[in-house]
Structure 1
Amino acid sequence: MKETTEGNPDAYYHAEAIEAIRNLQNVAQLQTFQTAMGKGPTGKWEWHDIVAKDVPESLSKAEAKRQSIIFELIKGEMAYVRDLENIDLIYVQALRKSDPPVIGRERLNGFITDLHSHHRKLLDQLHEIQRDEHPLINSITAPMFDAALNFRDAYMEYIPNLSI
């Protein structure tokens, strides 16, 4: 834009092209963040890292903080889903395959699988909202309410298995 002279008929189109490229870059960063599931350098990203520089500046402090908190909640859910996947892969599957069994097969019930299924569904819903509403998320109430209603049975099975 700086090299396009004022009054040049192409100035408007150049500005539109620049804005489109910035939007594509932000969407690509969001997809990279979601795909990485908190691993690698993208795991350190915060909300302000994947939106255009002018977005946080255009918001009130309260709204910018709200967007950061929503982003942090999604990051936390990504980490929890990844942890459940690792527990299943590293421990549960190995215990199921051990011969002779280290733990009785009946004790290796599917509560981790159930938890993972519920949390994966929640994460998929949160990611969809992120993609649809990026850079500003209006609400995550619906998936959180759904989670509160539907996680109960899985957690009622999970909680007795916790060692205190």
Structure 2
Amino acid sequence: MKKLWLTSLAVFLLVITMSSSAFAKMNKDAGWLSVDNVALGGITMGMTQDEVASIYGQPDTSKDYGVSLESGAYTIMWKYGDTFTVWYADGYVDGATTTADNGIQTPAGIHVGSPVGDVWKSYGQPWLDQNNKTYYSYWYHTDGGRKLFIDVKNKRVIRVAMGYE
């Protein structure tokens, strides 16, 4: 009976360990960045549409989402090609995402295609390390609520984004 109980306990602990690793691991003392590290391709949070257009020109496509029910902000999305997107709230950059090695990178030089080792060397341990089963998502944050999100698959960066949670 004792052997059965110990085996059951071992299986239970193994299941708990495996299921928790499939979700997220928070490192509340890690992953802090200075605000100037949260930028993509020269774009920083809070820039105006005119400032972004002065760097990249007018977008290939633009979508007006109107007033967001969640935030109350007027939301617009600009796309450059199929791989670089900039989001605006009330006319100011609220986030950006790149999904290809298109020259867009962070101030530390992290871009789609970078090895995961470069991410860890540049930014250290993330604040949130999330296993999404097909890729890992590393979250870094600042005192101002800005975040840098880096997704990794097969030890290579597949997406870099910035924004607010």
Please report the TM-score for the alignment, with normalisation by the length of structure 2: 0.28
- Please say which structure displays the higher CA radius of gyration: 1
Higher strand share: 2
**Highest relative contact order (Cα 8 Å, sep 6+), 1 or 2?**
2
Please report the TM-score for the alignment, with normalisation by the length of structure 1: 0.28
